[in-house]
Amino acid sequence: MAFAIPLVEFSRLAPQLREAAGEATGEVAFTRESSLAVAGVRVEAELVLTCQRCMERLPWMLRSEGRAALVATAAEADRASDELETVFAEDHRISLRELVEEELLLALPLVPRHESEHDCAGPATDAQEAVQPAGDAPEETHRPFGQLAQLLKRQ
Ligand SMILES: [Zn+2]
């Protein structure tokens, strides 16, 4: 079953987005495993997050695939195999939107950031460095290379 759901309709996801334009698209398929209903969800969405390093706009291509058991009780959740996510579904019914939103939230990065500091712009980078504990951190980073050089000379 294919779907296309506007991002603004995800009430829990939308507040975490910088821009809730666009939609999530993908497919859902239901199967039954050990007498539990299992939903297989494949979802794609072009999100716009906020980089936690520079606080600027961060386009994020989210692609995720997961399988979730629809459970109505804690006992059922225990029965679900460990490789399955579990989604609470009263009377074993869940809306497609809720199901897709669960998958999106699971796939969302905990601390979204540009891949490298060089992709970040603005003075926030300096602020980030100031937060790190002062001390001998830079020395520690260089020491392994110094030791390595000694080893090489000995051989
Ligand atoms: Zn950034």
User: What does the pLDDT look like over 64-101, one tens digit per residue?
Assistant: 999 999 999 999 999 888 889 899 888 888 899 999 99
What gap in Å lies between CA 98 and CA 94, rounded to an integer?
7
Distance 58 CA to ligand 1 centre (A): 7
Sign of CA dihedral 85, 87, 92, 97: negative
Q: How far apart are the first and last CA of the chain?
A: 64
The pTM of this model reads 0.73
Structure-token pair, residue 62: 């989210």
What gap in Å lies between CA 106 and CA 56, rounded to an integer?
23
Distance 130 CA to ligand 1 centre (A): 16
User: Confidence band (pLDDT; 50, 70, 90) for 46?
Assistant: very high
What gap in Å lies between CA 39 and CA 32, rounded to an integer?
9
Distance 4 CA to ligand 1 centre (A): 29
Distance 108 CA to ligand 1 centre (A): 16
- Contact yes or no for 50/56 (Cβ under 8 A): yes
Distance 119 CA to ligand 1 centre (A): 6
